[in-house]
Amino acid sequence: MKKTLAGFLLSSALAIGCTPKHASFVKVDDVALGRVVVYRNGVAYYERRTTVTGGILTVSVPRDRVDDFLKSLTVVDAISKQPLPVSIPRQQANDGAYLVMNLQLPSKAKADVVLTYVTESPAWKPSYRVVVGTNGKVMLEGWAIVDNTSGEDWKGVLVGVGSSSALSFKYDLWSVRQVQREQLQTEERFAIAPPSGISPYGGPTGGEPNGEAAIAELDDGEIRRPVGHPDDQTAKRVAVKDVKESEDKPSAPNKAGRADVEADYGETTTISRGGGSRNRPAKASKPAPRTATASPAPPPRQDPRVQTGDAKMRELSKQLTGSNKNIVIEGYADSNRGGDGQRRATDRANIIRNQLIDAGVAPNRIKVIAKVEPNAQERVRLVQTAAGPEDQRPAAARTADLTAAPVGESHFASPTPMTVERGASAMVSMVRKETEGEVVYLYDAESVRGNQNFAFRAVRFRNPTTSTLETGPVTVYGDERFIGEGLTEPIPPKASAVVPYALDRQIVVERTDGDETKLSRLVTLQRGILTAEVQHIKRKKLQITNRMNAKAKVFVRHTIPKGWTLINQPSEFERIGDAHLFYAELGPHEVKNIEIAESTPMERTLDLNADVTLDMMKVYVEAPEGNKELKDSLKKLLSVHRRLTDLATEQDSLRRRLHDYKERMDELHAQILTLQAVKTGNDLMGHLKTKMKDISSRVQKTTISIVDQEEKIMLSRVEFKDMLAELTLNDVTAPPTGATGAVSKTSK
């Protein structure tokens, strides 16, 4: 097996039938080629050496290669290394397959000449073999497949391959160019058309391809408010009295300080508080069923327009996530409506922006604009902006992103001359060397062919050369057998790569995604409405399980989207391209947890009455940065809110207890009515009536406690609202006006 494999890998040329793209080549007085270097950008470098006598060198160039030939031709004296001037006659027919050039040297003396030029050629293709060894070593072999479609046999030629960041293009150098000069006239132009108008976003008009175009519009009723927003009807607000709460509370004491509780068990029940009492005659009728006072309030009715808006946003998110266009979100507000129209317009636009970011649209592609106009409809309009000059260019010609990996250079050459016949292909050895490497596992859930549940078995190896190894297939061998194959991305010199080649399901990954929002900066605060910059955080938790009886090294691939910042990650990682590879080592049957968190800034409008907002404020006041005076005021506000929360919790407990007591009273009343028809049930009747009195007493005490609790809650709510009304924060984004403090107290 080893001999067969070695014989295959060491073969320097492989004749593979291929159809030549060009059946013509540059002919130089029957001078054979000396060296050919094929590049990845669609050209090849040719070098010929010859001895010229008579001062003329005849070159026949195919017409489709004349421009490349003239653009790259060099003629150098082999001894002096000085360039030799040449002249090219133009008197010949334009319909021939070849253009004959007589390169006239300055002297008719015998001269050794080196002729080099570059013409079109198919790109070479790399492929690799990795033989997994022991002790952290692997054998790396690389081969370049070169296709000779030139129509010329390469006999005894030094063949090489290369790649670089060099640009390649066609340019007309053969055609004669006549300069057309302008004809001046004495006439004057009195009527001149104005230039075309431009859009605010610097692109062509909406009717032009790739121009500005409105892609969606949502009115105010279609926008779903986030949790904690002043218009969010689902948020819990313990500091605000609820309508359902008013309906469920027990009867308040009368003028004499009494609260009545009906006890239908055939006797008079007195419930007193303070002074005075009220007696109610017993009823023999069946009690009416009671409504549970502790039943949860029904959820607020959703405006059907919100569901329509949600559907629009889902479709928009699908459309924009896969696009590279920029989005402008225009928030509109009616200036005649009163209030802060700028805040309303900005708030609506920011809500839509945040929803798009949550759906995966890059934050740096979104721009927010507020427009306050008379009689404007309260709405949001999404505009896909015109492509800039860079985006209007062909995709292959666009400037690479600033974060893109550098383009490496490579050059590999056969050490001995080789023969490649026309229409054949050759395999040129690029590298055969032992290098650092090992078998690892790679969890990649991001790639198109990735896997969400299992890590791939992979080989990690180091590029031992000083050249970049280009993208190509990798065949992996181990224990004298084939164990898999993969595809590598470009590997810079001396850099490492991780190439997955098998999926054995030995490393199981359970993934849990979550998100949260933390306050990072308060912008404005007026009458309990807070505008703040928040950090929207996405957390990815991975539970990695090793099913094997051996240790395993696992790499987790994670790419940070543009506009997001990594804030929490495993301590050991490395960068490969635009991705992070986080490292974890697991023992046999070991389970490890990894958490990766990233954040992006958002602007939100929050209601300080909402419990969720106050929960965020608790974290904010404990942070070291921020205005001390503001934090002291917020701490007092939070203290009152904690008291309100405790009172509300205790009140709910009392109401549930009262509900249980009343249900028990109904049961006892029904039992007493049943025993009235039995003559021998006097003892049991007395026992039940005693229980009824006890339960009635408990109902009385619980009702009084609920009323007392309601009074405490009412006082705390008044205190909370008073403190909230006095709490003010100037706009921190506004230019300074000489104010010395960020917090001020409004006069009552």
* pLDDT tens digits along 608-661: 888 888 888 887 787 777 677 878 888 888 888 888 888 888 989 999 999 999
Stretch 564-576: mean pLDDT, rounded?
Answer: 87
> At residue 395, does pLDDT exceed 60?
no
Of the pLDDT bands very low, low, confident and very high (cuts 50, 70, 90), residue 94 is low
Q: Which amino acid is at 58?
A: T
User: Within 13 Å, how many C-alpha atoms sit on residue 445's CB side?
Assistant: 13
Domain at 213-234+300-392, CATH from 3.90.870.10, 2.40.70.10, 3.30.1330.60, 3.90.1150.10: 3.30.1330.60
3-class DSSP state of 148: coil
Task: Kindly tell me the sign of the dihedral angle through the C-alpha atoms of 242, 243, 247, 250.
Answer: positive
Stretch 19-36: mean pLDDT, rounded?
Answer: 70
| Tokens 């320097």, residue located | 12
Tokens of 231: 């218009």
Domain ranges within the chain, ordered by starting residue: 23-121, 213-234+300-392, 251-292+636-729, 507-625
Instruction: Give the residue among 236, 239, 233, 235 at the shortest CA–CA distance from 642.
Output: 239
Q: For residues 351 and 365, what is the distance between their CA atoms, to the nearest angstrom?
A: 16
What pLDDT, on a 0 to 100 scale, did the predictor assign at position 462? 93
Tokens of 363: 């934050």
Kindly list the distances between the CA atom of residue 80 and the CA atoms of 31, 55, 56, 98, in Å, as whole numbers in the listed order. 21, 16, 19, 32
Report field, pTM of the whole predicted structure over 0.85:
no
Q: For residues 104 and 111, what is the distance between their CA atoms, to the nearest angstrom?
A: 12
Tokens of 252: 């308040």
> 9-13, 117-121, 162-166, 270-274: lowest mean pLDDT where?
270-274
- Pairing of the two strands 552-559 and 425-443: parallel
Percent of the chain residues topping a pLDDT of 70: 75
Of the pLDDT bands very low, low, confident and very high (cuts 50, 70, 90), residue 19 is very low
Check: CB of residue 647 under 8 Å from CB of residue 712: yes
* pLDDT tens digits along 162-172: 887 667 677 77
What pLDDT, on a 0 to 100 scale, did the predictor assign at position 685? 81
What pLDDT, on a 0 to 100 scale, did the predictor assign at position 126? 93
What pLDDT, on a 0 to 100 scale, did the predictor assign at position 12? 42
Of the pLDDT bands very low, low, confident and very high (cuts 50, 70, 90), residue 244 is low
Check: CB of residue 455 under 8 Å from CB of residue 505: no
Check: CB of residue 712 under 8 Å from CB of residue 719: no
Please classify residue 511 by burial: count the beta carbons closer than 10 Å to its beta carbon, then call 0-12 exposed, 13-18 middle and 19+ buried: middle
| Tokens 């696992």, residue located | 554
What pLDDT, on a 0 to 100 scale, did the predictor assign at position 621? 80
Question: DSSP per residue over 203-231, as a string?
Answer: S--TTSTTS-EEEEEEEGGGSPPPTT-TT
Check: CB of residue 558 under 8 Å from CB of residue 587: no
| Tokens 């490649």, residue located | 420
* pLDDT tens digits along 362-391: 888 899 999 999 988 999 999 988 645 444
Stretch 182-187: mean pLDDT, rounded?
Answer: 62
> At residue 548, does pLDDT exceed 90?
yes
Tokens of 635: 């701490």
Residues 6+ apart with CB under 8 A from 478: 131, 132, 439
What pLDDT, on a 0 to 100 scale, did the predictor assign at position 52? 81
For the chain, helix, strand, coil in percent to 5 are: 25, 35, 40
Average confidence score pLDDT of the chain: 77
Q: For residues 651 and 594, what is the distance between their CA atoms, to the nearest angstrom?
A: 42
> 202-211, 298-307, 379-388, 527-536: lowest mean pLDDT where?
202-211
Ranges 13-17, 115-119, 183-187, 733-737, most confident: 115-119
